[in-house]
């Protein structure tokens, strides 16, 4: 079975860190409250509709992709 990788980890390591985005800036770009983004990054909650839309609008995948990643992660827990 592949290792569990929460979408929040992907957001942090593959998007925020390479772009040098802090939590507040990233949350603003993705259209969510910093608290929501922090919880997703920590793996404490699922990707929200608003976050998936915001990521897609910024060119980071599609809404469908983010929900598929979340579903795959949730199925392994």
pLDDT at 29: 98
Whether this prediction's pTM lies above 0.75 is answered by: yes
Average pLDDT of the residues in 26-50: 97
Q: Indicate the pLDDT class of residue 3, thresholds 50, 70 and 90.
A: low
Give 4-37 pLDDT, tens digit per residue.
789 999 999 999 999 999 999 999 999 999 999 9
Could you give all domains of the chain from N- to C-terminal order, each with its CATH number? 7-75 (1.10.260.40)
For residue 19, give both structure tokens. 């772009």
Higher pLDDT, 29 or 2: 29
Integer-rounded Cα radius of gyration of the chain: 11
């Amino acid at each position: 079975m592949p290792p569990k990788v929460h979408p929040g980890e992907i957001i942090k390591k593959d998007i925020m860190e390479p772009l040098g985005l802090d939590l507040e800036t990233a949350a603003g770009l993705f259209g969510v409250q910093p608290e929501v983004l922090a919880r997703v990054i920590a793996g404490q909650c699922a990707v929200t509709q608003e976050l998936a839309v915001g990521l897609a609008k910024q060119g980071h995948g599609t809404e469908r992709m983010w929900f598929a990643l979340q579903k795959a992660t949730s199925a392994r827990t």
